[in-house]
Each structure stands twice: as structure tokens, then as C-alpha cells.
Amino acid sequence: MPKALLLENIHPFAAESLRDHGFEVETRKGALSQDELIDALEGVDLLGIRSKTNVTQAVIDARPELNAVGCFCIGTNQVDLEYAGKRGIAVFNAPYSNTRSVVELVIADIICLLRRIPAHTHHMKHGMWDKTASGSHEVRGKTLGIIGYGNIGSQLSVLAEALGMRVIFYDLDEKLAMGNAKRMRNLNDLLEQADAVTLHVDGRKSNTGFFGEEQFAHMKQDAIFINLSRGFIADLDALKRHLQSGHLSGAAVDVFPVEPKSSGDPFTTSLADEDNMILTPHIGGSTLEAQEAIGHFVTQRLEDYWFKGSTMLSVNLPQITLSDYRGAARIAHLHDNLPGVLARVNQVLGSENINITAQSLGTEGEIGYVVTDVAQVPSESALEALRNLEGTIRMKVMK
């Protein structure tokens, strides 16, 4: 019986579906350290994680029998994707499923900060009746600057415009503007115009420290700052300085450079004593609707890979979309991207007069993936010959 390990409170649908498909499933609430993960992965075929568990090169070397990792979240920077691919471990994520949840929280943060709700709430809790319009603004007519115009940034653009905001955005890649949004050719132009700046860049290592003292200094007087993307992208010490100086009027931060591994663990931040400040514990995508959608989406990708060999939407392997196999068996052969592998696969099968009913090949970078449906199951000697082809990373036979 194949085995799956699901960590970090993944939606119950994932465990239920995998069990229905014949997997033995173990679930754990929190994240695991590297050594804990290595121990827990003994005999495990599929691993499900969220953002706190790191699948490092050491983990992969210790448990090379692992077949696939499902990241039940948007990001995949917690997995060594390149090394996993070289060892034949497919990685899947959910790039769209919690987009709406993140966008709604950004909108809520913008409204609350522009109305100074955190500051008023703090005063009320400490016995101060501070009924004043000073510093409070409508969102209508204000300029929202979106840094990173991907799935989240573009949907945020649409909702912000519906509230009457002017939207400008900055992205390194050419992106189609939604509605009346305007693309800015450089970051400083955006920062100098935006009443609210929100970060939605990805988790690649090159984005570490992307938004620091220089960028905060270019922001408008009394602007607000929001980060619901990655904790290592923004310099929180610089943010604090600009809040304390009165340059910025408020901020919302949902992600932090170092975060606890489990819910309920202690957490401190120097931003806690700031007046007009919203602090949330990395819950941008944490709605019941989003978690259920992620549970369905990633589980389906893992099951399709295990039972069909389909790598559709894998983030580190060549993408091949496959239906149920036609014939007696399906041979999925993952290999180094070398010339002639497909011909050698067919030569081995041809030596036993095995008819090929369907075949797909995909390559990406240094990895190739050929999936072959055959009319009869090859002999053990033929299968061994396929496993021993030059460049073979991993081979699986489905029948």
C-alpha cells in the first residue's frame, strides 16, 4: 500500500481522497524540522506540506524513494526544486486557489489603515474616546500601487478599481493591464504616486531584501504599506523607522522573515507597538474556502501523477498532460535530457515486438520525460534494460 504524509493542517479532503484511492495516510498538525522530516519520511511516497516545512537537499538525499511533494499553498521556495527534479521528485503547488482570499485581506487592510481603524481600536481598548476625522480617508480617489502584477496583483487591481481607486502597477515582465490600471516603467515612479503600496512579488531568492530603506524613502508622505507576499522581501526595521518618523501613516504585515512553525507558538516583533499597524500571522490565504480549494487542487495533481504519470502544472518537471492509459501498461521514464533517449526506449520495446499504443515526450532544461503506453507488459529483462538506459533518473510502470 502506498503511503502519504500530510503536514501543517492540510484540509481534511486531501487525506480523505488519498485514502479513497488506496493510500495509507498519516497527518500531523505542525511543521517538522529537517531531522524530524527525514525520520517521518521513511517509506513515504507522497508528501504534503504548506509553507513552514523545508524539503532540502539533505532531506531528498536521505529519502530518495519519495515520489512527489504537494505544496498546499502558492509558494514553493520551501522546496529545493532543482535538486528535487534531478532526483525525480515531482513538485506541485496551488498557484490560483487562494488568490481571492489574499486579495480580500489586502482590500480590508487598505480600508482599515486609511480609516485608522487599528489606532482607534487601540485607543478604545485603553479607555480613550478619540472621535475625530483627522487622518481618516475614503479609499475612493486614492492611488493604489501594486508591485508584482501576477494572479493576485491583477485580481486586486480589478477589485480596487471597483472601489473607486486609481491603480498603478510595476512588474519586471510585460503584463496586460486590467481595466484602467496603468503600468509604471520604474518602481520609484510608482512609489512617489501611490497612497497605498502593496507587495505581491514571488519568493525567488533574488527578491530577498527587495524593499528596503531606499524604497520606503521614495514613498509619498502619509502613504500606507502592505506586505502579504514573503517575509524576507521587506526590511521591517526600515518600515518601523518610517512609521515612527511620521513619514508613513500605517502598515499591514502578514508575513515575517522568521515565523513560528506551529500555531500557538510564541512570536514577537518590533512593530507590535506601532499605532496604526495591522499584524496578522500569515493568514492571507487562510480561509476555509481557499484551504478547501487548495486541498482539492493539489491532491488531484498528486493523484494524477501517481496513477497516470501526468505532470500537468508541476513546477520542476517537464509538463505532460495524460489521460487514463490505453493498453496493458504505461511506462513513465524520467531522464537526463540527452539525445536519443526516446529512440533507445523504443528500441528496447521493439526488441520484444511490443506495440506502442500512445507516447508523449516533454523536455525542460536538463530533464526529459517520456511516457509510453504499451499493448503488453514488457518482460522483467526489458524493464531492467529501460531502468539502465544512460541518463535514467527514475522509471515507473503503471498497469
51 compared with 329, residue with greater pLDDT: 329
Give the whole-angstrom CA distance, residue 198 versus residue 152: 11
> pLDDT tens digits, residue range 126-165?
999 999 999 999 999 999 999 999 999 999 999 999 999 9
Q: Tell me if 1-97+287-317 shares its fold with 318-399.
A: no
Nearest to 111 by CA among 139, 146, 73: 139
Burial (CB count <10 Å: 0-12, 13-18, 19+), residue 159? middle
211 and 232 Cβ atoms separated by less than 8 Å: no
What pLDDT is recorded for position 204? 84
Domain covering 1-97+287-317 in this structure, CATH number: 3.40.50.720
Is 214 among the catalytic positions? no
Q: Under DSSP, is residue 97 helix (H, G, I), strand (E, B) or coil?
A: coil
What pLDDT is recorded for position 170? 98
> pLDDT tens digits, residue range 163-220?
999 999 999 999 999 999 999 999 999 999 999 999 999 888 889 999 999 999 999 9
List the domain boundaries for the chain: 1-97+287-317, 99-279, 318-399
What pLDDT is recorded for position 327? 86
How does DSSP assign 25-72, residue by residue?
A: EEE-SS---HHHHHHHTTT-SEEEE-SS--B-HHHHHH-TT--EEEES
Is domain 318-399 in CATH 3.30.70.260, yes or no?
yes
User: Taking the alpha carbons of 181, 184, 188, 189 in that order, is the dihedral positive or negative?
Assistant: negative
Q: Of 230, 301, 330, 335, which residue is the catalytic one? A: 230
Quote the pTM value: 0.85
Domain covering 99-279 in this structure, CATH number: 3.40.50.720
Give φ, ψ of 152 to 5 degrees: -75, -50
Q: Of 36, 104, 259, 292, which residue is the catalytic one? A: 259
Q: Quote the cell numbers at residue 245.
A: 518618523
Is 230 among the catalytic positions? yes
Q: Under DSSP, is residue 13 helix (H, G, I), strand (E, B) or coil?
A: helix
Q: Of 282, 330, 333, 335, which residue is the catalytic one? A: 282
What pLDDT is recorded for position 261? 81
Nearest to 358 by CA among 397, 331, 383: 331
Query: What is the distance of C-alpha 87 from the center of its chain?
Result: 21
Per-residue confidence band for 249, with pLDDT thresholds at 50, 70 and 90: very high
Give the whole-angstrom CA distance, residue 113 versus residue 196: 9
Is 259 among the catalytic positions? yes
